[in-house]
Amino acid sequence: MIQRKSAVAVTVILSQQESSFLGAREDAMTNAGNALLWTGLYFALSFAAIFVVWFADKMRSNFLGK
């Protein structure tokens, strides 16, 4: 048999949790949040790689005098 909590008990428990955490969410990240984080990370890494290649090419051209 499945035991279920009453709606009143759930409401009381949830209101106590919200008041104790002051509405702050400390749950695990959602799929959308995780995807946005990884997208931003890859975006930043791609620009860093482009800058490194550009800087290396500039240094090479300075050393070779081209």
Q: Is pLDDT at 36 greater than 60 in this prediction?
A: yes
User: Mean pLDDT, the chain, as a whole number?
Assistant: 79
Q: Where are the domains of the chain?
A: 39-66
Q: How far apart are the first and last CA of the chain?
A: 82
> What is this structure's pTM?
0.51
If you compute the radius of gyration of the chain from its CA atoms, what whole number of angstroms results?
26
Give every CB contact of residue 3 below 8 A, 6+ residues apart in sequence. Answer: none
What pLDDT does 27 receive? 74
Rounded distance, CA 16 to CA 25, Å?
14
Span 21-45, mean pLDDT?
84
Answer with the residue of higher pLDDT: 47 or 1: 47
Q: Using pLDDT thresholds of 50, 70 and 90, give the confidence band for residue 58.
A: very high
